[in-house]
C-alpha cells in the first residue's frame, strides 16, 4: 500500500521509473505502473521485470498510496474518474499535467494533491523539478514527494501563480536551449567548411561547459561576458547583436508560449 503508482508509461512515466530505480530512491517492488495500451505495459515489464503492473488505473489506485499521474492533460479528467471512487482519501495524487490546476485536482479528490513539473533532463539526473502543493498537503507527503523527485535532480517549490513561467524556463527550457544550440551550429556550418556533425558537437560541448562554468564559479552571466567580450573584440560584436535583438524575440516567444499554456488541457 506504500507503493508509488505511475499512471501513463510514456516519455515521462518511463523516465520516472528509470530515474527512481537508478537513483535507488525506490526498489522495483515499490513501484506499480498502469498504462492505456498493452504494448506500453509489455515494454515496461520487459525492461523492469520486478516492478508491479496494474491491470487498470483503479487497480493501481487500490495498491498505492502515492499516485503519480503522467498522462497528457486532456486525459487527466478520465483517469481521476477511474481512480478516485476506489481511493480511501488518505492517498497522495501527484499530477505532472501542464494546465491542470490544483483547483481541478482538489475538485475531484479532497485529499493531498501536488503538481509536479519534471524536465526531460531529469533522465540524466540534471535540471529542476518544480513542485507546487495543494492546500491539504501534510508535511510527510510533501517531504516524501520532494525527496522522490530530488533523486532525479534539483527540486524547487513554487507558487501556482508562478508555475507557468517557471515551467517555460525549467521544463520547456531544454527544448529552447537545444534550438539555440542548433542555431549556433547552423551559423557555424553556413560560414565555414565545418561539417554539421562537428559543429553540433562543438556547440553542445560549449553550451554544457558554459553552464558548468557558471554553476561552479557562481559568476553571473554578465561577469562571464565581461571576461570573454573584451572591448573592441570579436565576442563584443556578437553580444551586442544579441542584446539589441534577443530581448524582443524572447519576450515574444514567451508571450506566445504562455498563451498556449493557458489553453492546454481545455
Ligand atoms: N515531456 C515533457 O518534457 C514533460 C515535462 C513536464 C511535464 N510533462 C507532462 O507529463 C505528462 C505526460 O507527458 P509525456 O510527454 O510523458 O506524454 P506521452 O509520452 O504521450 O505519455 C502519456 C502516456 O499516457 C498514457 N495514457 C493515456 N491515457 C491513459 C489512460 N486513460 N490511462 C492510463 N494511461 C494513459 C499513454 O499510454 P499508452 O502508451 O499505453 O497508450 C502514454 O504513454 C503530460 O501531462 C505533460 O504535460 C511532460
DSSP the chain: --EEEEE--SHHHHHHHHHHHHHTSS-GGGEEEE-SSHHHHHHHHHH-TTSEE-SSHHHHHHHEEEEEE-S-HHHHHHHHHHHGGG--S--EEEE--TT--HHHHHHH-SSEEEEEE--GGGGGT-SEEEEEE-TT--HHHHHHHHHHHHTTSEEEE--TTTHHHHHIIIIIHHHHHHHHHHHHHHHHHHTSS--HHHHHHHHHHHHHHHHHHHHHH---HHHHHHHHS-TTSHHHHHHHHHHHHHHHHHHHHHHHHHHHHTTTT-
Of the residues 159, 181, 206, which one is the last residue of a structural domain? Answer: 159
Q: What CATH number should be reported for the domain holding residue 58?
A: 3.40.50.720
Q: Establish if 266 belongs to a structural domain.
A: no
CA 261 to centroid of ligand 1, rounded, Å:
16
User: Do 142 and 171 lie in a common domain?
Assistant: no
Of the residues 102, 135, 159, which one is the last residue of a structural domain? Answer: 159
pLDDT of 34 over the 80 cut: yes
Mean pLDDT of 154-170: 97
Q: Establish if 118 belongs to a structural domain.
A: yes
Q: What range defines the domain where residue 122 resides?
A: 3-159
Q: Is 34 in the pocket of ligand 1 (CB under 6 A)?
A: yes
Given a contact cutoff of 8 angstroms between Cβ atoms, the answer to whether 156 and 33 are in contact is no
Mean pLDDT of 175-202: 98
Q: What is the pLDDT of residue 26?
A: 97
Of 127-131, 134-138, 170-174, 227-231, which gets the smallest average pLDDT? 227-231
User: Do 219 and 144 lie in a common domain?
Assistant: no
Q: Establish if 109 belongs to a structural domain.
A: yes
The percent of residues above 90 in pLDDT, for the chain, comes to: 95
Q: Establish if 133 belongs to a structural domain.
A: yes
Q: Is 120 in the pocket of ligand 1 (CB under 6 A)?
A: yes
For residues 35, 40, 41, 43, the Cα torsion angle rounded to the nearest 10 degrees is: -150
Q: What is the pLDDT of residue 121?
A: 95
User: Do 23 and 121 lie in a common domain?
Assistant: yes
Q: What is the pLDDT of residue 168?
A: 97
- Euclidean distance between CA atoms 232 and 92, whole angstroms: 58
Q: What CATH number should be reported for the domain holding residue 248?
A: 1.10.3730.10
pLDDT of 1 over the 70 cut: no
User: Do 152 and 213 lie in a common domain?
Assistant: no
User: Do 135 and 239 lie in a common domain?
Assistant: no
User: Do 62 and 193 lie in a common domain?
Assistant: no
Given a contact cutoff of 8 angstroms between Cβ atoms, the answer to whether 106 and 134 are in contact is yes
Of the residues 114, 130, 159, which one is the last residue of a structural domain? Answer: 159
pLDDT of 29 over the 70 cut: yes
Read off the pLDDT band of 231 (50, 70, 90).
confident
User: Do 53 and 131 lie in a common domain?
Assistant: yes
User: Do 117 and 218 lie in a common domain?
Assistant: no
CA 39 to centroid of ligand 1, rounded, Å:
14
pLDDT of 167 over the 80 cut: yes
Q: Is 7 in the pocket of ligand 1 (CB under 6 A)?
A: yes
Angle (CA) 114-119-125 rounded to 5° is 105
User: Do 122 and 170 lie in a common domain?
Assistant: no
Buried b (16+ CB within 10 A) or exposed e, 148-169: bbebbbebeebeeeebbebbbe
User: Do 50 and 108 lie in a common domain?
Assistant: yes
Q: Is 126 in the pocket of ligand 1 (CB under 6 A)?
A: no
Q: Among 6, 12, 123, which residue has the most ligand 1 atoms within 8 Å of its CB, making it the best to mutate? A: 12
Q: What is the pLDDT of residue 266?
A: 67
Q: Which three cell numbers stand for residue 4?
A: 508509488
Mean pLDDT of 119-143: 95
Mean pLDDT of 65-72: 97
Q: Among 5, 6, 7, 8, which residue has the most ligand 1 atoms within 8 Å of its CB, making it the best to mutate? A: 8
Q: Establish if 56 belongs to a structural domain.
A: yes
User: Do 85 and 190 lie in a common domain?
Assistant: no
User: Do 101 and 14 lie in a common domain?
Assistant: yes
User: Number of structural domains, the chain?
Assistant: 2
Amino acid at each position: 500500500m506504500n507503493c508509488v503508482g505511475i499512471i501513463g508509461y510514456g516519455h515521462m512515466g518511463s523516465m520516472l521509473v528509470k530515474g527512481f530505480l537508478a537513483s535507488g530512491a525506490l526498489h522495483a517492488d515499490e513501484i506499480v505502473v498502469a498504462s492505456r495500451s498493452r504494448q506500453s505495459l509489455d515494454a515496461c515489464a520487459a525492461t523492469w521485470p520486478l516492478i508491479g503492473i496494474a491491470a487498470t488505473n483503479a487497480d493501481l489506485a487500490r495498491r498505492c498510496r502515492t499516485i503519480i499521474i503522467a498522462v497528457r492533460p486532456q486525459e487527466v479528467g478520465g483517469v481521476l474518474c477511474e481512480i478516485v471512487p476506489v481511493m480511501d482519501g488518505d492517498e497522495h495524487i501527484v499530477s505532472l499535467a501542464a494546465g491542470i490546476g490544483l483547483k481541478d485536482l482538489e475538485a475531484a479528490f479532497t485529499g493531498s494533491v501536488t503538481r509536479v513539473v519534471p524536465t526531460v533532463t531529469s533522465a540524466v539526473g540534471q535540471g529542476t523539478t518544480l513542485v507546487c502543493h495543494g492546500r491539504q498537503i501534510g508535511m510527510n507527503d510533501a517531504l516524501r514527494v520532494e525527496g522522490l523527485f530530488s533523486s532525479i535532480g534539483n527540486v524547487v517549490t513554487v507558487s501556482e501563480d508562478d508555475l507557468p513561467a517557471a515551467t517555460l524556463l525549467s521544463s520547456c527550457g531544454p527544448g529552447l536551449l537545444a534550438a539555440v544550440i542548433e542555431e549556433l551550429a547552423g551559423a557555424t556550418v553556413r560560414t565555414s567548411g565545418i561539417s554539421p556533425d562537428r559543429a553540433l558537437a562543438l556547440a553542445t560541448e560549449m553550451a554544457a561547459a558554459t553552464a558548468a562554468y557558471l554553476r561552479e564559479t557562481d559568476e553571473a552571466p554578465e561577469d562571464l561576458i565581461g571576461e570573454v567580450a573584451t572591448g573592441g573584440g570579436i565576442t563584443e560584436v556578437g553580444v551586442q547583436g544579441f542584446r539589441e535583438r534577443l530581448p524582443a524575440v524572447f519576450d515574444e516567444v514567451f508571450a506566445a508560449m504562455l498563451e498556449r499554456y493557458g489553453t492546454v488541457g481545455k
